[in-house]
């Protein structure tokens, strides 16, 4: 059960933070279909930055001495770098949607096509191969173990301690904290109210002195920053800190989570956990021991492994088929704002 919960969080948290990225963009009135592309770009920048820091020798001492705090500082710094990279990449969508009033669906699709091609091109230049790796077991550097907290390896921390304090990624908890803080900002602050008003009725917002163009730029930039962080967290926790121009469709799954959650953070968190659970089952069904008795129930069922791999996407289609009609998107999303139109 501990393994199942930990793996579910590993898959759910990137979905959660990237779905919130979509909420910020769409609440401002911009449809951000480019979440997949921004995740790919963020994952590449994150892995590249860690590789540069590794080659510079800046953290060799921290690795050899097991200085956990220094390694987590590198992780936080990398998250900031990927946030900045994602925000910059999203400016392409902002400029096309706000300044050029281009079709936002086509703009997002174009960025989704651009990102993997650009990333693979850069990887070929940098590493002369199709995947950018980091030397050593990079993912384990950023993992929290109970020995880092002063406990011996043989110490039993109980179910909660073993589940949430041993062999987990602090990046997961940073993203959860970020999710909570930004949700409060979106719904409990003046900035959040102004942002949401631009997605519901931009003409009314403009008449009250709110700069709709700036708010839409802000919403899309925050969206890009969160998607960039989500891309790095995916690369760190799921891809063993590597980048190959692919994030396994997590950006599109995050869009489904956002719609299923009806653009509300609490619902999105629940939807992300649901999809994360099925993604966990798809990836680790041969290792899931529910009762701790050494019996791997799912592996013993005579079902093709391809079915388990399809399961998250089948669930996505089924859930959207039953919930999309009840979902209420912001009224002005996808509509270019014309200041002279009333």
Indicate whether 336 belongs to any domain. no
Q: Residues 168-174: what's their mean pLDDT? A: 92
DSSP H or E stretch at residue 124: helix 104-127
Indicate whether 127 belongs to any domain. yes
Q: Which comes out higher in pLDDT, residue 310 or 66?
A: 310
The total number of structural domains in the chain stands at 1
Q: Contact, 269 vs 16, CB < 8 A?
A: yes
323-337 residue pLDDT tens: 777 778 899 999 998
Paired strand residues for 132:
243
Amino acid 118: pLDDT: 96
Sign of CA dihedral 313, 319, 324, 325: positive
Q: Is 168 helix (H, G, I), strand (E, B) or coil?
A: strand
Instruction: Give the number of other CB atoms < 10 A from CB of residue 297.
Output: 12
Indicate whether 153 belongs to any domain. no
Amino acid 151: pLDDT: 77
Indicate whether 342 belongs to any domain. no
User: Measured between alpha carbons, how far is 44 from 82 in angstroms, rounded to an integer?
Assistant: 9
Q: Output DSSP code: residue 146.
A: G
Whether the per-residue pLDDT at 295 is higher than 60: the answer is: no
Amino acid 284: pLDDT: 74
Whether the per-residue pLDDT at 136 is higher than 70: the answer is: no
Amino acid 139: pLDDT: 67
Q: Residues 229-247: what's their mean pLDDT? A: 91
Amino acid 297: pLDDT: 63
Average pLDDT of the chain is 87
Backbone phi, then psi, for 66, in 5-degree steps? 70, 30
Q: Residues 297-319: what's their mean pLDDT? A: 78
Any idea what the Cα angle at residue 56 is, between residues 74 and 234, rounded to 5°?
A: 40
Any idea what the Cα angle at residue 222 is, between residues 217 and 224, rounded to 5°?
A: 95
Instruction: Give the number of other CB atoms < 10 A from CB of residue 107.
Output: 22
Indicate whether 329 belongs to any domain. no
Indicate whether 179 belongs to any domain. yes
Indicate whether 228 belongs to any domain. yes
DSSP H or E stretch at residue 7: helix 2-27
Whether the per-residue pLDDT at 115 is higher than 80: the answer is: yes
| CATH label of the domain that carries residue 98 | 1.10.3470
64-112 residue pLDDT tens: 666 777 788 888 999 999 999 999 999 999 999 999 999 999 999 999 9
**Structural domain boundaries, residue 272:** 2-148+159-323
Q: Is 132 helix (H, G, I), strand (E, B) or coil?
A: strand
User: Measured between alpha carbons, how far is 336 from 313 in angstroms, rounded to an integer?
Assistant: 32
Tokens representing 34? 């480019």
2-57 residue pLDDT tens: 778 888 999 999 999 999 999 999 999 999 999 999 999 999 999 999 989 888 87
User: Measured between alpha carbons, how far is 126 from 317 in angstroms, rounded to an integer?
Assistant: 38
Indicate whether 212 belongs to any domain. yes
Whether the per-residue pLDDT at 183 is higher than 90: the answer is: yes
Q: Output DSSP code: residue 134.
A: -
Q: Contact, 51 vs 134, CB < 8 A?
A: yes
Task: Name 141's Cβ contacts closer than 8 Å, sequence gap at least 6.
Answer: 63, 71, 74
Q: Outline where DSSP puts E strands in the chain.
A: none
Amino acid 239: pLDDT: 85
Of 115, 84, 114, 95, the C-alpha closest to 228 is 84
Confidence of residue 137 (pLDDT cuts 50, 70, 90): low
């Amino acid at each position: 059960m501990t393994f199942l919960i930990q793996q579910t969080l590993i898959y759910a948290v990137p979905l959660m933070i990237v779905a919130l990225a979509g909420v910020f963009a769409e609440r401002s009135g911009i449809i951000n279909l480019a979440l997949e592309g921004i995740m790919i770009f963020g994952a590449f920048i994150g892995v590249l930055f860690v590789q540069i820091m590794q080659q510079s020798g800046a953290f060799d001492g921290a690795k050899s001495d097991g200085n956990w705090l220094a390694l987590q500082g590198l992780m936080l710094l990398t998250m900031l770098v990927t946030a900045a990279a994602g925000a910059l990449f999203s400016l392409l969508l902002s400029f096309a949607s706000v300044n050029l009033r281009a079709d936002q669906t086509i703009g997002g699709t174009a960025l989704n096509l651009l990102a993997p091609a650009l990333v693979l091109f850069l990887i070929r230049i940098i590493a002369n191969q199709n995947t950018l790796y980091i030397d050593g077991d990079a993912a384990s550097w950023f993992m929290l173990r109970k020995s880092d907290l002063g406990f011996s390896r043989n110490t039993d921390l109980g179910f909660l301690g073993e589940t949430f304090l041993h062999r987990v990624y602090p990046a997961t908890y940073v993203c959860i904290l970020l999710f909570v803080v930004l949700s409060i900002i979106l719904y409990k602050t003046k900035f959040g109210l102004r942002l949401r008003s631009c997605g519901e009725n931009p003409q009314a917002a403009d008449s009250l002195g709110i700069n709709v163009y700036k708010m839409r730029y802000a919403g899309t930039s925050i969206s890009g920053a969160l998607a960039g962080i989500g891309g790095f967290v995916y690369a760190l926790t799921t891809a063993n800190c590597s980048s190959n121009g692919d994030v396994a469709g997590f950006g599109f799954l995050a869009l489904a989570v956002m719609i299923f959650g009806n653009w509300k953070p609490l619902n999105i968190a629940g939807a992300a956990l649901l999809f994360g659970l099925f993604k966990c089952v798809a990836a680790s069904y041969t290792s899931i021991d529910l009762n701790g008795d050494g019996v791997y129930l799912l592996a013993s069922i005579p079902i093709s492994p391809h079915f388990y791999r399809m399961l998250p996407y089948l669930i996505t289609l089924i859930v959207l088929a039953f919930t999309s009609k009840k979902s209420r998107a912001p009224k002005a999303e996808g509509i270019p704002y014309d200041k002279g139109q009333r």
